[in-house]
Chain A
Amino acid sequence: MKKSSEKVAMSSIIPRGLAKKVRRLMERHLSLKVIDWLAQFWIQTRILFSRTLILMVVAMFAIFTWATIKEEIFKEGDAFRYLILQSTALAILLHMNLWETEREGRTFELLIMRIPGVNRLIWFKMRVSLLWNFLLLLPFSLGFMWFLTIPLWRELLYLLFLMTVAVFVALFTCVVSSFVKRGLPTAIIVTIILTMISSFRHLPAGEYFQIFIFPMKESLLKDWSHKRLAIMLIVNRLFLLCVAAHLYWWLYRRLRKTEKWIV
């Protein structure tokens, strides 16, 4: 028994005393609420990032880095396309096992005793995964901003669009995983359906329903008035918001149905 605990301590990549020191320092200087949030964020992160997921995220970053160098991206539109792909891929990876981990680990019941209500449970789980979605988007986003000298306001607009897409894909992945119950098939099904959804742009007035739209598309900027473009973008995001709200409601019902103890 002693041997195994020594092994665990040795396998940690954080120096022994450092974690303790940081913890003490935080407890001295931060409020209880902040410490609570950080502690929960840290544990949720540990639960979210299994070794497999870490490897997949690293592999995804390697592929995107390689592709970015190979393609020699100079245009904002191309950069945005890369970012939207990355945002989608991250949302799928981070959410394909989000609920399965709790279901398979049978930890749902212990959680629900402390987090009453499905809404709070969804918020509790998804706030961490979506925050990681955002944080992992930043390196490439800021990189493109630096190399392509994208103005800050446009960068923020892109991030807003990227995150709305991430929320939609995350909710969609969660709904699919509630039926499929396995991470990899969930990811495959979601990818296929999203590929189909992306072809909406070919429909008449497809810009209004195109979830993966580039807000600063050159052809639109050239042909459309600013007012028309602004209305289109607002309608487009409102449409996405409605779809996301519907997906949320669907997930809520699925969680209630799947786990009969959630009343």
Chain B
Amino acid sequence: MHLSIQNLSKVYQDGKTALDGFNWELERGIYGLLGPNGAGKSTLLEILSLGLMPTSGRVLWDGWDIQKKPNAFRRILGYLPQSYGFYPELKTWQILDYMGRLHGLHGRRLKRRIGEVLEVMGLGNDVKRKVGTFSGGMRQRLAIAQSLLHSPQILVIDEPTTGLDPGERVAFRNMLFDLGRSCVVLLSTHIVKDVEFSCHQMSLLYDGVQRFTGEPVEFMKRVEGRVFETLIPFEGFAKFSKEQCVIAIQERGKEVTVRFIASNGVREIPGAQPVRVNVEDAYVDFIRQCGEEELLDEEVV
């Protein structure tokens, strides 16, 4: 079970480079893809799900090129796009039966798989319920269920937790953990916490360029010792936010508690307490740095 993304690039017809020389080696487990809007995440996922042809580079699954054997790859791929829907008038089992048959499953095997995926997704009691009556979380679980019907070896999921409530998000992450033990799960998301809590490796895209690939812990090192919390008077906040990269603010009467990232090289700030860093801190710092680099580039030009 090995997915190898080699020097993948995509240039659209209008000349825009959406992806520039992306490389990644994935094996069994959960992998997170992070990046702001327009970074190239969806383009990468669309290439992996055979919806788009890359301009250059290739993707190998266990050594064979997925573009050369698209139908074979489709058989082992489970894909959940960012935007999808179900026929609201159909019942849960009807949707799964329909999708399963389209995947070439029949008879007892199909029945067994429908039962299994419903059980895994916790939808066992809603088999006869119309999909139109489902909550956002239930629809999401059904979407995952349909993508798991044919027992895929690789699961590509685009922004799955958007719109879910915190409880549903945690349940979803736990479910991902189980899936990651048996297949390659590639998760693209805006929600940094999902990557921090569920992925053992992550890749960061910015403007189509791969800026970081590695473990979340490694990514957090970029801000280690630079994240602080301090209490400042409310009036002084405007000035403070101009000088420091503020991540979180909490009002406390006439004062505010501010969590911020100090500039590079600064290890001590009077009155401020260093706190434990998380992936979100590192991500914010990273995005800020990218923005500064862009500004610098523009000035040079």
Residues of A within 8 A of B (CB): 1, 4-5, 8-9, 27, 32, 35-36, 39-40, 43, 46-47, 50, 101, 104-107, 109-116, 260-263
Contact = CB atoms under 8 A, between A and B. Distances in A.
Contact of B99 (A1, A5, A36, A114): A114
Interface string B92-103: 001001110111
Given A104-B85, A115-B102, 9 more contacts: A27-B107, A32-B106, A32-B107, A40-B102, A107-B85, A109-B81, A116-B74, A263-B50, A263-B53
- The A contact surface, by secondary structure, is helix
Given A4-B133, A106-B85, A113-B79, A39 B128 contact: no
26 contacts: A1-B126, A5-B126, A5-B128, A8-B128, A9-B128, A32-B107, A36-B101, A36-B106, A39-B97, A50-B89, A105-B85, A105-B87, A106-B83, A110-B84, A110-B99, A111-B102, A112-B51, A113-B74, A113-B79, A114-B99, A114-B103, A116-B50, A116-B74, A260-B52, A261-B51, A263-B53
Nearest to A33: B106
A113 B49 contact: yes
Contacts of A8: 91, 128-130
Given A4-B133, A32-B107, A109 B125 contact: no
A99 to B, nearest CB: 14
Contacts of B126: 1, 5
B88 interface: yes
Nearest to B105: A36
Given A106-B83, A107-B84, A109-B81, A261 B91 contact: no
Given A35-B106, A113-B79, A106 B128 contact: no
B70 interface: yes
Q: Which of A43, A101, A113 has the most CB of B within 10 A?
A: A113
Nearest to A124: B102
B104 to A, nearest CB: 9
A40 B101 CA distance: 8
B71 interface: yes
Q: What are the nearest 4 A-B pairs in CB distance?
A: A106-B85, A261-B51, A114-B102, A109-B81
B140 interface: no
A257 to B, nearest CB: 12
B171 to A, nearest CB: 17
Nearest to B95: A43
A177 to B, nearest CB: 18
Interface in B182-215: none
B146 interface: yes
B98 A43 contact: yes
A46 B90 contact: yes
B46 interface: yes
A213 to B, nearest CB: 39
B141 to A, nearest CB: 14
A107 B107 CA distance: 24
